[in-house]
Structure 1
């Protein structure tokens, strides 16, 4: 009876199974198999021997071990207990055992301990919330070298006017300097993902701009709902007017400020936008400084977004 050649999918499945680990797609598990990319990511982090490094999604420990060679301590976050067991076996009885701390569970729900640097191949489905969890973490870390889906990385570094420029771009660039380091093809992973990847380096702005982040986030959320529309149009939407008016009434109540009987939120917003010559601007062309100026203009008139 002739042998049937196994499909590519079956061959990949068997290769993984032979290593004793069947990767879980629900956790976004795609293990980086190219050691040169791992080495390059670590080099870009410019590690010091005294550093404490946070690694998210440590997997089978390929990057973890290389980090342990260079720093004082590695905190490895891993949600899959099978991979945690593999990593523990890998360092058991070595000088690295005492330098490794493992956090088991969902990193988005975890209380992160102190770290200087973050180096990680991020599970792509948690990219956005994780970026802001890191950037809002205190005390500040020095830098993060992170691998994301390529389009997500491009959004992080996009500039005003770029096709991919969006709320993610401006919110990230308010809090950090972000640089693209390298693009990484699918073939560098096991099993190969369906998308291309890229590595970025993030340096938090320390100190950050003196702006309440929730206020900022509320403003950019409205502006980028329709990023190609003018701000004048964005702030005329019924739902937007209702939310801002509710915030305004709360603000006036807290500050014992009387609201004039003829007060019109629509007219007030139009006047503010006109005064700072922002009514005809579009979110897709505005940079961080433009939004800072606009937020100050609104806040100075008692208009708040959180």
Structure 2
């Protein structure tokens, strides 16, 4: 979604003709114009931008939000895929006091290397919601916060808590790495052309320090648990496919004699969280990012037992030790999952 395209000031007739006739916005690419000027003011206000901040803006469009950000921050780095919008930005700010405080990067934000920034303010295409969220959370050094407009359902998944209907793998993985809060709902009629769904603005603050956990292991566990989030963990971990997968990992690690300390070691310098969002994709043609259980790793539906398996007894013993056998993923907190992962690791069972 092209960010911050608001007609804040009444344009001249020539400017209006150029805007309407010279640039057509592609709905299929997530380009929508925010037409409510109060929304941009609210977003900028809630971002808590300081005069010393370097601001990353994604999808600046014609630059109305960009102008507001330049007025309150030190510098704006705008990443824009559409060359027409890049040209429009350059024309708009050329020869103004803002020109030396605006850096425009033409390219795909998911593919380009992002420079240092203090805060991110963005109104993004819905179809990049998940990969962009985790790319930002993997960025180093960590930024202070990001204030981003998402599709409302995706936003609600980000902030969902245990017991909520929308609580899913996306919720757990994001909240492991960041504090997420919902700022405001934005109706679809605030855009021209209106998208198919409502939107929400979310604030994301990276956790400092990060939890001392292997993120690939973490996601391996969360994938299994949320494959059937309303089943008991005892039922999930009795499935033949799950037991076979974990036993293969167990035997491989034993053969390689990898130490538990090495597997759990985590440093911010080498943070790789791309795995956390790699299966939470969306269908851009439908303007929706699922983020839920339908995209999770497939396992067998049946609770086929592996009779006489010492490994199965070991798995169930871990669940009983932590009193997890009758619990459901949809009700478990971050602390619960961290404790469960630690119990598995202590038993020599790993998920990556």
Is TM > 0.5 for Structure 1 vs Structure 2? yes
The structure with higher relative contact order (CA 8 Å, sep 6+) is: 2
Which of 166, 169, 184 pairs up with 1:167?
A: 169
Structure 2: gaps of 5 or more residues: 1-16, 260-307
Secondary structure class of the residue paired with 1:18: helix
What is the CA distance between 1:17 and its match in structure 2? 7.5
Q: Check whether the contact 1:16–1:22 (CA below 8 A) recurs between aligned residues.
A: no
Q: TM-score, normalised by structure 1?
A: 0.90
Match of 2:119 in 1: 117
Q: Check whether the contact 2:178–2:205 (CA below 8 A) recurs between aligned residues.
A: yes
Q: TM-score, normalised by structure 2?
A: 0.78
User: What per-residue deviation string (whole Å, max 9, x for no partner) do you get for residues 45-79 of structure 1?
Assistant: 11111111111111111111110111111111111
Rounded to whole Å, the distance in 1 between the matches of 2:311 and 2:92 is 63
Rounded to whole Å, the distance in 2 between the matches of 1:17 and 1:119 is 23
Counterpart check, 1:105 vs 2:107: yes
The 3 A distance-change label for structure 1 pair 265 and 110 is farther
The 3 A distance-change label for structure 1 pair 256 and 150 is closer
Q: Check whether the contact 2:27–2:193 (CA below 8 A) recurs between aligned residues.
A: no
Which of 23, 26, 36 pairs up with 2:25?
A: 23
Secondary structure class of the residue paired with 2:72: coil
Matches within 5 A, 1:226-305: 226-255=228-257, 264-305=310-351
Secondary structure class of the residue paired with 2:227: coil
Structure 1: gaps of 5 or more residues: 1-14
What is the CA distance between 1:22 and its match in structure 2? 1.4
Rounded to whole Å, the distance in 2 between the matches of 1:131 and 1:18 is 32
Aligned length: 288
The 3 A distance-change label for structure 1 pair 117 and 270 is same
Secondary structure class of the residue paired with 1:69: helix
CA RMSD, 1 decimal: 1.7
